[in-house]
Amino acid sequence: YSAEQLPRSDIGDYIEQRVKATQPAGTSPIAVRLVTNKQLAMVVPPPIRATFCAAARELPGGIVQRDPLPEAIEYTSKVLCLFQEVNGLWVLLFIVYTQEYGADAPACNRARAYIAYVDSIAHWQPCSRRSAAYKEMLVGYIDWVRLRSFRRVHLWSAPPQEGDSYVLWCRPQHQPPPPPRTQHAWLRQWYHSIARGCEALG
């Protein structure tokens, strides 16, 4: 098995080169692969459609025109995986689930991307460059969608609740989960550093 043999993609190659640029010479081989890229539709429940609208605008005479939400909103679901060869074996170390709403989506979601799930394993080599690699994976994705006319990226920053396994079920013994309060503060700070990196790119 080799992650390098998985099909390549433009987005995977773009992010892979960015991640490689954060690592010192001689770092073990890495691969970024787009493993899911499919069109899905989110069904909008009737109570939501009855309460909210896709957009509203005021017309002459103070009349407010509301655009109703559709019964379903289409989006592209992507899963990006970052692998590294560790001791001769390819290991999945970082995974990102995203939802992309294009130019044809309702105004409330148009040109928006959502980073829905992020998870990682602490086996990156060298460990001192692990955070840089994982941050660049997200910065690279955000820059990729920006270059494709997406205008907003939303990121859920709360950690999983105690007892939840999140995406990756197995963790090394040297990666115990921190207490929830500590983890939340650390995650928020980590995501803020990613936002600053994105701001620097424009």
CA distance readout (Å), 22 to 93, 116, 138: 16, 24, 13
Residue-level pLDDT at 65: 84
Confidence bin at 180 (pLDDT 50/70/90)? low
Find the mean pLDDT for residues 143-159: 88
Coil, strand, or helix at residue 115?
strand
Residue 21 half-sphere exposure, CB side, CA atoms within 13 Å? 11
% pLDDT > 90, the chain: 55
CA distance readout (Å), 168 to 3, 92, 132, 180: 17, 9, 20, 18
Q: What CA–CA distance (Å, rounded) separates 142 from 14?
A: 11
Find the mean pLDDT for residues 182-200: 80
Residue-level pLDDT at 162: 61
Instruction: State the total domains in the chain.
Output: 1
Least confident residue range of 103-107, 143-147, 179-183: 179-183
Least confident residue range of 32-46, 54-68, 139-153: 54-68
Least confident residue range of 73-82, 106-115, 190-199: 190-199
Query: 55 or 142: which carries more pLDDT confidence?
Result: 142
pTM of the full structure: 0.86
Residue 14 φ then ψ, to 5°: -60, -50
Query: Could you tell me if 19 and 136 are in contact, meaning their C-beta atoms sit under 8 angstroms apart?
Result: yes
